[in-house]
Amino acid sequence: MKHTNEDIQMLQNLHLLAFGEEEGPIISDLVKEFLLLPETISISIERDNKVAGNIIFTPFQIKGHPNKKCYLLAPVGVLPEFQGQKIGKDLIEKGAAHLRSIGADAIFVLGYPKYYAANGFVPTYILPPYPELTTYLEAWKIRELKKGAMNGINGKTIAVDPIMKPEFWDTSNRPE
């Protein structure tokens, strides 16, 4: 889906506010780059007649397994005034349902382990794009969309260009 410049700016601002002063500018720039890619899937939820949250999925490849249709979840953002109302969970579920409807096999995420575990994600042996930098392995998770779709699958992965920078995969400064 092609996004208008107004859509992109609105979603950039949402993620800027959702992630705060430190992470917000980096995430906001990533959102713009993602939304310019035609294969990006962006899903929003409205509350009180405004977009309260947004989630983005980009294609994610496993080397040697071109038949597997996977996506990377990054980012999911909720405006501060709507945080704590399960909008993030609703976005994940709405996204998973959409991806399942288009035949996707799995969703990958690098994020807060407890949050994503509570939303159906589990540890995986499939390596992130920079496994040597992803030292906090509990943060790297998968959610199968088709039962058993990823059985026996392993290897390195490739994300879309905007997020294939090593700094996005370095977990050495993450809180345990």
Determine contact, residues 26/34, Cβ cutoff 8 Å: no
Report the distance separating Cα 162 and Cα 164, nearest Å.
Answer: 6
Q: Is the pLDDT of residue 5 over 70?
A: yes
- By three-state DSSP, how is residue 122 classified? strand
**In terms of C-beta density within 10 A (0-12 exposed, 13-18 middle, 19 or more buried), how is residue 128 classed?**
buried
Class of domain 5-168: alpha beta
Determine contact, residues 144/121, Cβ cutoff 8 Å: no
Strands 70-78 and 106-110: parallel
Report the distance separating Cα 77 and Cα 91, nearest Å.
Answer: 9
Burial 43-71, CB ≥16 within 10 A → b, else e:
bbbeeeeebbbbbbbbbbbbeebeebbbb
The CA-CA-CA angle for residues 29, 121, 131, to 5°, reads 60
Q: Is the pLDDT of residue 175 over 80?
A: no
Q: Is the pTM of this model over 0.75?
A: yes
pLDDT of residue 172: 85
Q: Is the pLDDT of residue 1 over 70?
A: no
* CA dihedral sign, ordered 91, 96, 101, 104: positive
- Structural domain boundaries of the chain? 5-168
**Nearest CA among 150, 173, 143 for reference residue 22:** 173
Report the distance separating Cα 91 and Cα 72, nearest Å.
Answer: 14
pLDDT of residue 137: 87
pLDDT tens-digit series, residues 86-108: 999 999 999 999 999 999 999 99
pLDDT tens-digit series, residues 117-139: 999 999 998 999 999 999 888 99
